[in-house]
Amino acid sequence: MTVCIFGGSGDNVDTKYIDACFALGKAVGTCGATLLYGGGTGGCMAAAARGSIAVGGKVIAVAVDSIEGTDVPPGDTVTVVVTKNIDERKEKMQADTDVYVALPGGTGTLDEFFSTLTAIECGFLRGKIVLFNAYGFYDTLIQWLRESTERGFVRDRVWQAFTVCDTVQDIQKLLF
C-alpha cells in the first residue's frame, strides 16, 4: 500500500501539528505501507517522513528540482525522485497511490487536496482521500464545504470522495 501525503513544509508552526504528523508517519511505516511525499526537510510533511523512517518504513520523496529545500531526511529506506515542475510532481505523486492524506498545511496542500479530490470525484483517480483534521485545523474548511454544498456549489457526492479524521488512531482504523 502506498500512502501519499500532502502537507505544510514550513517549520514556523505549532509543534503539536509536527508531532501529530510524525506519529502518523510512524503508523504508516509500522504497518508496512510506503509513505510518498513531496520532499523537503521541513514542516508537517517532512515530520511524517521522519516518523516513517524512524520505524524503518519505506519513504519516497518526489521533489521539484527548482524548489529550494528539496533535501530529504536521511535514511536507508528513502528513495528520491526529482521532477522538473509542480505539475509533474503532482502527476508522479498521484500515480499508483492507494490513499491520499492531507495533513495540516497551506495553499500548496489545499491545491493538492482539491485537485486530488476532484480527480477522485470525477473518476480520473482511484483511492481514498483523508483530511487529517488534527486539533481542528480544517474545521473552517469543512464548514465552508458544508455551506457550499447547501448553496449548490459543491455536489453531495464529493462527501463520498473523502473522509475527515481527527486523530492518527482514526486514520489507522480507516486504513489499516
Rounded Cα gap, residues 105 and 151, in angstroms: 26
The one-letter amino acid code at 175 reads: L
- Per-residue pLDDT of the chain in tens (176 residues, 90 and over written 9): 999 999 999 989 999 999 999 999 999 999 999 999 998 889 999 999 999 999 999 999 998 887 655 567 777 888 888 899 988 998 999 888 999 999 999 999 999 999 999 999 899 999 899 999 999 999 999 999 999 999 999 999 999 999 999 999 999 999 88
Element (H, E) at 82: strand 78-83
- Note whether 45 and 21 are within 8 A (CB): yes
Rounded Cα gap, residues 70 and 37, in angstroms: 11
Bridge partners for 100 per DSSP: 4, 129
**List of long-range contacts for 156-161, beta carbons under 8 Å, 24+ apart:** 157/121, 158/117, 158/121, 161/117, 161/120, 161/121, 161/129
Rounded Cα gap, residues 9 and 46, in angstroms: 7
